[in-house]
Protein backbone atom coordinates (compact mmCIF):
# COMPACT_ATOMS: atom_id res chain seq x y z
CA UNK A 1 0.00 0.00 0.00
CA UNK A 2 1.39 3.39 -0.95
CA UNK A 3 2.35 5.71 1.87
CA UNK A 4 2.25 9.46 2.29
CA UNK A 5 2.90 11.82 5.16
CA UNK A 6 1.25 15.09 4.29
CA UNK A 7 -2.28 14.67 2.95
CA UNK A 8 -2.59 18.37 2.21
CA UNK A 9 -0.30 17.75 -0.80
CA UNK A 10 -2.79 15.34 -2.40
CA UNK A 11 -6.13 16.13 -4.03
CA UNK A 12 -8.87 13.58 -4.69
CA UNK A 13 -9.91 13.10 -8.32
CA UNK A 14 -12.83 11.29 -9.96
CA UNK A 15 -11.11 11.03 -13.37
CA UNK A 16 -11.89 7.75 -15.15
CA UNK A 17 -8.18 7.04 -15.67
CA UNK A 18 -8.21 5.87 -12.06
CA UNK A 19 -10.83 3.21 -12.88
CA UNK A 20 -9.23 1.60 -15.91
CA UNK A 21 -7.13 -1.55 -15.57
CA UNK A 22 -4.15 -1.45 -17.95
CA UNK A 23 -2.37 -4.43 -19.45
CA UNK A 24 1.38 -4.91 -19.10
CA UNK A 25 3.23 -2.87 -21.72
CA UNK A 26 0.34 -0.45 -22.19
CA UNK A 27 1.57 3.08 -22.91
CA UNK A 28 0.92 4.99 -19.72
CA UNK A 29 -1.43 7.95 -20.24
CA UNK A 30 -0.32 9.51 -16.94
CA UNK A 31 2.84 9.82 -14.89
CA UNK A 32 2.39 8.44 -11.42
CA UNK A 33 2.11 5.34 -9.29
CA UNK A 34 0.33 2.26 -10.61
CA UNK A 35 -0.84 -0.68 -8.50
CA UNK A 36 -1.40 -4.28 -9.62
CA UNK A 37 -5.05 -5.04 -8.86
CA UNK A 38 -4.30 -8.70 -8.09
CA UNK A 39 -1.37 -8.47 -5.66
CA UNK A 40 -0.97 -4.81 -4.71
CA UNK A 41 2.53 -4.46 -6.17
CA UNK A 42 3.21 -0.81 -6.96
CA UNK A 43 5.43 0.84 -9.56
CA UNK A 44 6.18 4.35 -10.80
CA UNK A 45 5.59 5.08 -14.48
CA UNK A 46 6.15 8.04 -16.76
CA UNK A 47 3.54 9.28 -19.23
CA UNK A 48 4.21 7.94 -22.72
CA UNK A 49 6.31 5.01 -21.52
CA UNK A 50 5.09 1.40 -21.40
CA UNK A 51 3.93 -0.05 -18.09
CA UNK A 52 6.09 -2.97 -16.84
CA UNK A 53 5.74 -6.20 -18.84
CA UNK A 54 3.99 -9.43 -17.87
CA UNK A 55 7.27 -10.89 -16.55
CA UNK A 56 7.64 -8.01 -14.04
CA UNK A 57 6.24 -10.30 -11.34
CA UNK A 58 4.25 -13.53 -11.17
CA UNK A 59 1.02 -14.45 -9.39
CA UNK A 60 0.72 -17.93 -7.89
CA UNK A 61 -2.88 -17.93 -9.13
CA UNK A 62 -1.67 -17.43 -12.70
CA UNK A 63 -3.69 -14.25 -13.10
CA UNK A 64 -2.17 -11.70 -15.48
CA UNK A 65 -0.81 -8.39 -14.21
CA UNK A 66 -3.31 -5.53 -14.39
CA UNK A 67 -2.07 -2.04 -13.58
CA UNK A 68 -4.42 0.58 -12.16
CA UNK A 69 -3.52 4.22 -11.58
CA UNK A 70 -3.16 4.95 -7.86
CA UNK A 71 -1.59 8.41 -7.73
CA UNK A 72 -1.25 10.73 -10.73
CA UNK A 73 1.45 13.38 -10.75
CA UNK A 74 0.46 16.86 -11.88
CA UNK A 75 3.18 18.77 -13.73
CA UNK A 76 3.00 22.50 -14.15
CA UNK A 77 2.93 23.59 -17.77
ZN1 LIG B 1 0.50 -8.41 -9.28
Residue-range domain boundaries for the chain: 17-72
What pLDDT, on the 0 to 100 scale, is given for residue 62? 94
Per-10-residue mean pLDDT of the chain, 77 residues long, equals: 95 97 97 98 98 96 97 93
Res 77: pLDDT: 81
Q: How far does residue 76's CA lie from ligand 1's centre (Å)?
A: 31
Question: Contact at 8 Å (CB) between 34 and 69?
Answer: yes
Q: Say how many Å lie between the CA of residue 41 and the centre of ligand 1.
A: 5
Whole-number Å distance, alpha carbon 44 to ligand 1 midpoint, is: 14
**Ligand 1 centroid to 2 CA: how many Å?**
14
Cα–Cα–Cα angle for 36, 39, 41, nearest 5°?
55
Q: How far is the CA of 21 from the centre of ligand 1 (A)?
A: 12
Amino acid sequence: MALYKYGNNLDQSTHTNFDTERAPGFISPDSGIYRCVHCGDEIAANKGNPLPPQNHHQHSSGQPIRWKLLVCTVQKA
